[in-house]
Amino acid sequence: MEAVRSVRALKPFFERYTRRTFAELAIGGEEIVDYVAELLARFSRSEALPGPAGRREREPLHSVVEMLVAAQEGLGEGEAAAVDRQRDLHQHVADYCLFMSGVFREYATARSFLGLYLTEGQRAYHEVFEFDQSRYRPGAQIFRELAEQFESYSGALDYMKKVYFHPDLYQRLYYRVLREIYGL
């Protein structure tokens, strides 16, 4: 419950800068702004970064590769729960890749992860779009837009960080999270 309150409290902060950034770069609509602001609020909590929903009780997933392998587990089971879990894992992979390639672009570039994040994030959002569209779920178009324009949104987050977040604030807020996760 505390995590939900924390996301709700942080979302307006990120929404303001996301809206401003996307307007300056002439990308995204209101639904995309809302989605990305919520994503930033969720990932600003360090326990949200490593593992997707449903894996909290086990050891967290620490890499995109581990997440992709987990997304493939259960293929062919045919159970609705397994299919929904795969969809959620794809969404988490995509969200994580967008966050890391945008907010931590220098880190991803220095470790040669940027290409992987861009490719897999786009692919994972496309999987979510196809899943949601095939089940007539509202909001599927958000994931299509994120898939088709993944690199633009990633670049927009990098731009937002550089333009609106003071380096000292950025280091205290996000690099502390990276230190906890990756031992930097």
Q: What is the pLDDT of residue 148?
A: 98
The predicted structure's pLDDT at residue 150: 98
Q: How far apart are CA 87 and CA 125, in angstroms?
A: 10
User: Total domain count for the chain?
Assistant: 1
| 47's tokens | 């326990």
CB 70 within 8 A of CB 89: yes
Q: Are 39 and 7 in contact (CB under 8 A)?
A: no
Task: Answer whether 39's CB lies under 8 Å from 93's CB.
Answer: no
Q: Measure the CA–CA gap between 160 and 127, rounded to whole angstroms.
A: 27
- In angstroms, the CA 171 to CA 177 distance is 9
pLDDT of residue 12: 92
Per-residue confidence (pLDDT) for residue 73, from 0 to 100: 59
In percent, the amount of the chain with pLDDT more than 90 equals 58
> What pLDDT sits at residue 176?
61
CA 122 centroid distance within chain: 11
What pLDDT is stored for residue 100 in this prediction? 95
Amino acid (1-letter code) at residue 165: F
What pLDDT, on a 0 to 100 scale, did the predictor assign at position 17? 95
Q: Taking all residues of the chain, what is their mean pLDDT, rounded to a whole number? A: 81
End-to-end C-alpha distance for the chain, whole angstroms: 29
What domain range is 79 assigned to?
2-182
Q: What is the mean pLDDT of each run of 10 residues along the chain (184 residues)?
A: 70 94 97 97 67 42 56 56 89 96 94 96 98 94 98 97 74 59 55
Q: What's at 140, amino acid-wise?
A: A
H-state helical runs in 135-149: 140-148
Q: Tell me the whole-structure pTM to 2 decimals.
A: 0.76
How many Å apart are CA 90 and CA 147, to the nearest integer?
12
pLDDT of res. 60: 39
Here the tokens at position 153 are 């949104």
